Amino acid sequence: MAFMKSFKRILSYARPYGRSVPGYLLLSVLSVVFGVMNYGLLGPLLAVLFEEPSTGATLARPQFAWSLDYVTGLFGWALSSIIQNRGVIRGLLFVCGALVVSCLLANVCRYLSQRILVGLETRLMKNLREALFGKILSLPVGWFTNRRKGDVLSSISNDVAEVQSGIAGSFHAFFREPLLVLGFLAMLIYMSPQLTLVSLVALPVSAFIVTRITRKLRAGSVETQHLMGRLLGHFEEAISGSRIIKAFGARRYVADRFGADNERHRQVLRQVRNRQELASPVSEFLGISIAAGVLFYGGWLNYRGNLGMTWSQFIVYIMFYWKVLEPAKTIAKSYALVQKGLVSADRIFAILDAPAEIEDGRESVKDFREAVTFDHVSFSYGEEPVLKDVSLTLPKGKMIAVVGPSGAGKSTMADLLPRFYDVTEGAIRIDGRDIRTLQLEELTDLMGIVTQESILFNDTVFNNIAFAMPGATREEVIAAARVANADEFIRQMPQGYDTNIGDRGAKLSGGQRQRIAIARAVLKNPPILILDEATSALDTESERLVQDALTKLMGGRTSLVIAHRLSTIRHADEIYVVQDGRIVEHGRHKDLVANHGLYSHLCSLQDFS
C-alpha cells in the first residue's frame, strides 16, 4: 500500500501525462504484437527449411474473423500458395521478408514509445527538482539549523538521482514489460494449454523467492542514504573549514572521522548491492529450471503422442516461453531498483512535507508610516528562553541601537523582525499590525538587512549588489557602491564590476565582502534598515568611512542597529542594553554613561578615541 502510494506520488510529478499515455499504450501494444509475430514466424520458417513442403493442393483461404486462428490461417494460406505456385525458395523469401518487416515495425514502435517515456521521465525530474528547490527556498531559517547540511545536500543530489534511475528509469518495466508477458502468455496458451498450465503453476514460486530477496533492500537503502548524507557533510566541512583544519593540524582527525563513516557506507552498500544483484541470477536460474521442467513435460507428452504440435511448433513454443522469462526478469530487477528509489523518494518527501513553521499572512503592507514595536516579546529556540518580555519602540526615521554582551539575544531580535523566526510570546507590530498577519514577501520588501556574516554568491560584483533587483541600472549599482565605500576597490579588480568573486566571495577580503553587502542594502533603499554588526569586519579607516555613509543613509528612515563597537552607535536616538534576554537599560549615549550601569561598563572596556 505504501509502495503504491509513494509510486503514484512520484508519478504525479510527470503531469500532464494524459495526452502521452494513450499514445504510449498504443505503441507498446503494437510493439508487443509485432514482437510476438517475430517469433511466431519462426515456426513457418523452420517448417520450410527442415520439413517436407506440401506438394498437394493449396490451403483454402479462411473466412474473415477477429481471431488469432484467422491470422495464422491467412498466413498459412499465403505461404502455401507461394510454395505451390512459385516454389519453396520463394516461400522461404516470403517468410524471411515478413520476419524482417515485423522486426522493423516492433522496434520502431518500441523506440517511439520510449521517446514518450523519456519525455515523461525528464518532465518528472524537472518538476521534482523545481518542487524541491522551491520548498528549500520557502523553509524557515530554523529548519536548517536543526539538520545536517550534508543530509539536505544528499537529498538534493543523490536522492533525486536514485529516484531518476530507480523509479523514473523503470517505468518501462511496469508498463511495457507486463504487456510482453501477457502477449507471450496468450500465445503459449493458444499453442498448448497443458504445458502453459504447468509453467503458470511454477512461475509464482519464482516471483515469491525474488520478492523475499528484494524485500530487505529498503532497510539497507535507508542506512546507505543516511551515511551518504554524513559523507557529504564531511566534504562540506572540509571545504568550508579548510583553513582551520590546516591551521590546527587536524587533517588526521578529520580524515579518521570521514574514514569511519566511509567504511561503514562501503559495508552497507556492499550488502545492498549484493542482494540487488542476487535477484537477477536467481530469477534466471529459476526460469531455466522451470523451462527445463516444461521441456521434460513436453517431451513426455510427445513420447506418448499427446503433444499436439510438430517439433518446429514445439521449438517456437519454447522460444515463446523463454521470452516470457525475459520481461519477468526485467520486472524483478526493476522492482529491486524501485525499492531503493522509494527510500530516496521518502527522504525527498520528508523535505517537501516539512511543515511551514512560518505561515504567510494575508494582509497587504505596502509602506511604513509610524513605528515598529516589540510588544512583550519572548522567544526560545528550545526550552531555555533567549528573549524575555522585551518591549521597545522603533519610531519612523529614528536610529535605534541594541547593545549588550555576547549571547544576550541581540541578533535574535534582528532575526525576529523579518520573521526568520516567529515570537514565542507577545508580538512585533508594524504600524500597529502584528507582522504575523502580513504577507511575508511584502514585509521583507520593507527591509534591508546587512548581517554579521556577509552572505555573497558565486557571481559577479554587479549581480551581488543588484541581487533580487534585476531592473537596477549600472549607474544605480555604482552609486550604491560609492555610498558603501566599495567603488574604489571594485574598479581595481580585473574586470571591475563584472569580476566573479568566487564561492561566498572567497576572492575578497572580509571588509570588502561586508562593503558589498552594505551596497546591496543601499541599492534596495528600504524604509527599514537592520544592521547586525554591519561594520564588524572593517578596518578602522573603512569603518569610519562606511559609518559616515551609513549615518547619511539612515537619515529619514528607521534603523535597527546591533553593535558591539559602541563608538558606531553613540549618536543613536535610543540605545537599548540587553543582558540575558532582557532589556536592562535604555536611553541616549550620554545618559547611559552617566548612569554607571552595564552600558557604562561596556564603554569603559572600549577605546572611544
Residue 266 one-letter amino acid: R
Top-confidence residue, 41 or 390: 390
Residues 443 and 547 in one domain: yes
Q: Which of 109-113, 398-402, 456-460, 549-553 has the lowest mean pLDDT?
A: 549-553
Residue 344 falls within a domain, yes or no? yes
| Together in a domain, 348 and 376 | no
Residues 337 and 405 in one domain: no
In angstroms, rounded to a whole number, what is the distance separating the alpha carbons of residues 39 and 330? 19
Q: Which of 302, 325, 352 is the last residue of a domain?
A: 352
Query: pLDDT class for 55, splitting at 50, 70, 90?
Result: very low
Does residue 554 register a pLDDT over 80?
no
| CA–CA separation, 390 and 400 (whole Å) | 14
Cis omega (within 30 of 0) on the bond before 16? yes
What is the rounded average pLDDT of the residues 477-489? Answer: 86
Distance CA 313, CA 493 (A): 81
Angstrom distance (rounded) from CA 586 to CA 577: 6
pLDDT at 308 over 70: no
Is position 360 within any domain?
no
Q: Using CA atoms, how far apart are residues 481 and 499, in angstroms rounded to an integer?
A: 14
216-220, 259-263, 298-302, 333-337: which has the highest mean pLDDT?
259-263
The share of the chain scoring above pLDDT 70, in percent, equals 78
Query: Is residue 358 situated within a structural domain?
Result: no
Q: Let me know whether 433 and 505 are in one domain.
A: yes
- Give the pLDDT of residue 549: 64
Q: In CATH, what number is assigned to the domain containing residue 263?
A: 1.20.1560.10
Average pLDDT, integer, range 257-267: 85
Query: Do 433 and 535 share a domain, yes or no?
Result: yes
Letter for the amino acid at 475?
Answer: E
pLDDT tens for 376-404 read 999 988 778 899 999 999 998 888 999 98
d(CA 307, CA 297): 9
3-state SS assignment for residue 376: strand
Residues 585 and 474 in one domain: yes
State the residue range of the domain holding 170. 2-352
Q: Over the Cα atoms of the chain, what is R_g?
A: 37
Residue 91 in domain: yes
Q: Which of 319, 352, 385 is the last residue of a domain?
A: 352
pLDDT of residue 426: 93
293 and 227 part of one domain: yes
Total count of domains within the chain: 2
Boundary of a domain, candidates 301, 317, 352: 352
Residues 300 and 431 both lie in one domain: no
Residues 173 and 242 in one domain: yes
Residue 410 placed within a domain: yes
The answer to whether residue 452 is domain-embedded is yes
Say if residue 434 is in the same domain as residue 574. yes
Q: pLDDT: is 213 or 462 the higher one?
A: 462
Is residue 111 included in any domain, yes or no?
A: yes
Is 609 inside a domain boundary? no
The CATH number of the domain where 396 resides is what? 3.40.50.300
**Could you tell me if 277 and 391 lie in one domain?**
no
- Same domain? 26 vs 62: yes
